[in-house]
Amino acid sequence: MLLDTPICEFGWKAPDFTLKDPDGNSHTMSAYLGEKGLLIAFICNHCPYVQGIGDRLAADARTLQDEGINVLSVMSNDYRHVPHDSPPNMKSFAERYGFSFPYLVDEDQAVGKAYGAVCTPDFFGLNAQGELQYRGRLDDAGIKGGTQRTPELLDAMRQIAATGTGPRVQFPSMGCSIKWR
């Protein structure tokens, strides 16, 4: 089912979390909240929307990281119901796309619920204080009527890094619903 995300609730304080990657290594959100902010991407392996942006997400994430903006991704789907999203498959997915950022398992789905994640992909751009400044899509393909892709997420994260605030005009992300237990 195709879903849109809600509009950005500017200034919403993102709750801290600690999740493990498929190898069992723990990662704490606040440790990644750098001087230039943090991008959190709720994604999964089986979603065709995520598969369609996998290479672009990996490239944009490397660009952001090179500019001092940190990136985390979270998989909140119930992988017992959707085995393709299991931790071993997450590891393969991250390797296939060359992810340079942690891809974390939200085992009990508490992080996805705390953030109000709706679909995959669902992007949350936080400033250095952990306040939400962007909730939207990777790019505006199909929004402005052209085939050229404007990097909404990349530009938004750069603005957050420079000013601490995100753009006021944002387009919701679209994707597959998160598979809740």
pLDDT tens-place string over residues 50-108: 999 999 999 999 999 999 999 999 999 999 999 999 999 999 999 999 999 999 999 99
CA–CA distance, 24 with 8 (Å, rounded to integer) = 32
User: Which domain range does residue 24 map to?
Assistant: 2-177
Mean pLDDT, the chain, as a whole number?
92
Among 3-17, 94-108, 116-130, 135-149, the minimum mean pLDDT is found in 135-149
Structure tokens at 106: 């939200």
Give the count of domains, the chain. Answer: 1
Kindly tell me if the per-residue pLDDT of 109 is higher than 80. yes
CATH code, domain carrying 100 = 3.40.30.10
Q: Give the single-character DSSP code of 34.
A: B
Q: Where do the DSSP E strands lie in the chain? A: 2-4, 18-20, 26-28, 38-42, 70-75, 103-105, 119-120, 122-126, 132-136, 174-177
Is the pLDDT confidence value at 18 over 80? yes
Q: Which two tokens stand for residue 112?
A: 């996805």
Alpha helices per DSSP H over the chain: 29-32, 48-66, 87-97, 110-115, 152-163
φ, ψ (nearest 5 deg) of residue 55: -65, -45
**Contact (Cβ atoms closer than 8 angstroms) between residue 125 and residue 39:** yes
Whether the upstream peptide bond of residue 121 has omega within 30° of 0, thus cis, is yes
